[in-house]
Amino acid sequence: MYRLFNKGFIYIIIAWLLFLQVGFLAKEVDYNLKFYGYSSHFEKDWFFHPGLQLDRDFYLTNWFVIRSAVSVYRDSGHLAAGFFHLGFRINARKFDNFYVRLGFGPSFIWRQNWWLHRDTYEGSSFYGETYHSDRFEKAFLWYGGDIEVEWKIKPNMSVVFATVPGYPVIFANSIGFRF
């Protein structure tokens, strides 16, 4: 039980509590529901990893957004994975119905332990190269983020495409709706 409460997990809990306080300062609150699709390990493969992501955006100004996100998906090893993210977005309006957002902030990432499910697994530079028998592998990043494009179809309904440029490991894509 102690391992669950490592530094990364505790930082995310503290950030979530602070985030709830920021909500009262927001001019507007929006939600995204995204569906995961094709992603790529650089120069290795493309794979389909179905999953869902829910974002909650608090607009402090029309160009500065605070976002919390939670996601669950199937990773490239066909095992359960996901993340918790809290960060900021710079929101730029292009044309009448077209927005571009650049996001940045800490993320707590987890997946089912490949050591227990993959016979040929030798570890990774991201999750570690030392065998362990925990149920999950996890990592904490101070610098997670994404690039997002929004096309506003009508008031309170948009289509959103996002990509996580996780260089040098992965390039993950999602598409969804903003309401």
Read off the pLDDT of residues 104-130 as tens digits, 9 standing for 90 and up: 999 989 999 999 999 899 988 888 899
14 in helix, strand or coil?
Answer: helix
- The set of long-range contacts for 161-167, using a CB threshold of 8 Å and a minimum separation of 24, is 162/34, 167/42
19 in helix, strand or coil?
Answer: helix
pLDDT tens-digit series, residues 53-71: 999 999 999 999 999 899 9
Separation of alpha carbons 119 and 139, rounded Å: 22
C-alpha gyration radius of the chain: 17
Please give the pLDDT value at position 46. Answer: 87
Mean pLDDT of 16-45: 76
For the chain, the residue count is 179
Task: Please give the structure tokens belonging to residue 5.
Answer: 């409460």
Q: Which residues contact 96 (CB under 8 A, 6 or more apart)?
A: 152
Task: Please give the structure tokens belonging to residue 155.
Answer: 């008031």
Task: Please give the structure tokens belonging to residue 23.
Answer: 């909500």
Domain ranges, ordered by start, for the chain: 2-178
Please give the pLDDT value at position 175. Answer: 94
Q: What is the pTM of this model?
A: 0.81
Architecture of domain 2-178: Beta Barrel (2.40)
